[in-house]
Structure 1
Amino acid sequence: MNLSHKTLLQDVSLNVAPGELLAVCGPNGAGKSSLMRLISGELKPSTGDVRWHGHSLAEWPLLKLARQRALMQQRAEVGFDYSALEIILLGRHPHHQGASRPQDIQIALAALQEVDAGHLAEQIYTTLSGGEQARIQMARVLAQIWEASAGPRLLLLDEPTAALDPRQQHRILEIARRWANKGDVAVIAIVHDLNLAAQYADRIALMRDGRLQALGDVASIMTPTAVEACFDLPCILLSHPDGGTPMIAARRQH
């Protein structure tokens, strides 16, 4: 894929299945956000294809696609004094395209509870902390794909833990993991922290220079060899004391 004759992604091939959380990791400029923009349909590939349920995104009616797939962007600018509940209701627009119905409000309130933010419903969104705003945006995308009757669904998270404190980072990924565990929701999340990704993901994709460098389960990716090749960072392998999840620690540079 190229934009203005600059190749952004090349030789990237991957899939994600319902019930799975795939974490996409890599250094800055690796092409992670470009990949997310392709998967979401914001960008079109110059070669290759992005497919959902076996069909190219271009073949899907936009409304039907929006009911099955939702994107939580890295930054969400809000220029109006919307309440948290009103922000979440924006996620229901593909389902009614007009005034919110009682069931939309019910789903929005349930999504607020899902992210443990029911007390924020009437708060003005722009007055919330970064962590609170992230939870509201998470509730918005959950509300968008809430109905299981829509069939298998796709949740796209573009750096959902950026600029959040450790507690909020875990909270967001715990929610993503819980939704993947439903069995009919596939989750793709861009995560900068490899150790954080390892705790919640089923598989990890490592990207570098616009290419997919490695793809596999957590144990196969969380190795010094794979991490050093992707990040140019000498490191050692550890085991998380709570559960044994593989962890990577950087070697000290003398």
Structure 2
Amino acid sequence: MSGVKELFRRRTRELPAPVEPGGLAAEADGVRVVRGRRAVLDGARIGVRAGEVLALVGPNGAGKSTLLSVLAGDLAPAAGTVRIGGRAAGEWSAPELALRRAVLPQTAELSFPFPVADVVRMGRAPWAGTAREAEDGAAVAEAMAATEVTEFAARPFSALSGGERARVALARVLAQRTGLLLLDEPTAALDLRHQELVLRVCRERAAAGDAVVVVLHDLGLAAAHADRVGVVHGGGVAADGPPAEVFGEELLSRVYRQPVEVFPHPRTGVPQVVPHRDPIAAHIGSHRPA
């Protein structure tokens, strides 16, 4: 940890100013990303606003994770523009970006058996040598409590289950205390309780003024927890808006190439998305001999 902090100390950094509620924390405009001979993104546009949870949804291979990497400034597009904190992403140095956005990748791997508390504390490295370095202890404790990993503090990260590692990785991101969080499938390895916990944390961070982008496969979770959803399809964002407006049967059936039904939850009114199933086939399947 001391070596990582020293790297940040050696650089003079301008501390970020908070983004006004509803203001753009990051945006991608007309971005194009090519992998091999395929344009994964081609003209994609999306904005990320302070105080909102934005869920990126879409089928496998649609480019959700690629768009997240572009919005994070980690992947430079072949065309189009990306802005973070009002400035072109490429104009920020890596230490400056680390003060403005925190990124949770799909997988969290470490080569050495660091204790969990040290892994979470890595999220504080960007603030070394700044006035906010004094927040380190409180930030780490708060992040571990929010993700329910405090009891693992002394355990080696490598000894944890996949779901436990995922929560520790999220705690590291929360401890970074940036105004923009970009989370790639944070619920993928989690059970029902911890899926709800993670997305509740996302909502709390948005309510506190942060901009949160989360890649999700579960449309029900996106509908229940996101202020906006961006449906990634065909190299771009096919629809962008509140879940109740975007999650229509025609659009989702076309995007996922699977007929779906959408209906409001009887208590909350939140859109529920389920595959359309042939009732005759379902009836036959229910009477198969054991």
Structure 1 length-normalised TM = 0.91
Q: Distance in 1 between matches of 2:38 and 2:144?
A: 41
Q: Are 2:36 and 1:10 aligned?
A: no
Which of 36, 58, 67 matches 2:90? 58
1:171 corresponding residue in structure 2:
197
Map 1:83-122; keep pairs closer than 5 Å.
83-96=115-128, 103-122=135-154
Q: In 1, distance between residues paired with 2:85 and 2:102?
A: 15
- Report how far residue 21 of structure 1 moved: 0.4
Stretches of structure 2 lacking an aligned partner (at least 5 in a row):
1-32, 282-290
- Note the aligned Cα RMSD (angstroms): 1.8
Question: Could you tell me the percent identity over the aligned residues?
Answer: 37
Q: How many residues align?
A: 245
Deviation sequence 1:91-118 (CA, Å, 0-9, x none): 1111117xxx764233212211122222
Tell me the equivalent position of 2:18.
none
2:229 matched residue in structure 1: 204
Specify the SS of the correspondent of 2:76. Answer: coil
The amino acid that maps onto 1:182 is A
Determine helix, strand or coil for the equivalent of 2:45. Answer: coil
Which residue does the alignment assign to 1:245?
A: 270
Cα distance in 2 for partners of 1:249, 1:103 equals 44
State the alpha-carbon separation in 1 of the partners of residues 93 and 66 from structure 2. 23
Matches within 5 A, 1:7-46: 7-46=39-78
The CA distance in 2 between the partners of 1:106 and 1:212, in whole Å, is 38
Higher Cα Rg, which structure: 2
Distance 2:100 2:267 in 1: 35
AA aligned to 1:155 is L
Task: Check whether the contact 1:29–1:209 (CA below 8 A) recurs between aligned residues.
Answer: no
Q: Which residue identity lines up with residue 177 of structure 2 in the other structure?
A: I
- For residue 43 of structure 1, give the secondary structure of its aligned residue in structure 2: coil
Deviations 1:133-169 (A, max 9, x none): 12111110011126xxxxxx10000011113222221
| Maintained 8 Å contact 2:45/2:236 | no
Q: Secondary structure at the match of 2:49?
A: coil
Which sections of structure 1, spanning at least 5 residues, go unmatched? 147-152
Instruction: Give the TM-score, by structure 2 length.
Output: 0.80
Structure 2 match to 1:79: 111
Alpha-carbon separation, structure 1, partners of 2:151 and 2:106: 24
Greater strand content = 2
Query: Which structure is higher in RCO with an 8 Å CA cutoff and minimum separation 6?
Result: 1
Partner Cα distance (2:142, 2:116) in 1: 13
Q: 1:180 aligns with which of 197, 203, 206?
A: 206
Task: Name the structure 1 match of 2:13.
Answer: none
Which residue among 241, 247, 251 is the counterpart of 1:222? 247
Is this contact kept in 2: 1:223–1:248, CA < 8 A? Answer: no
Q: Measure the CA separation in 2 of the matches of 1:95 and 1:244.
A: 42
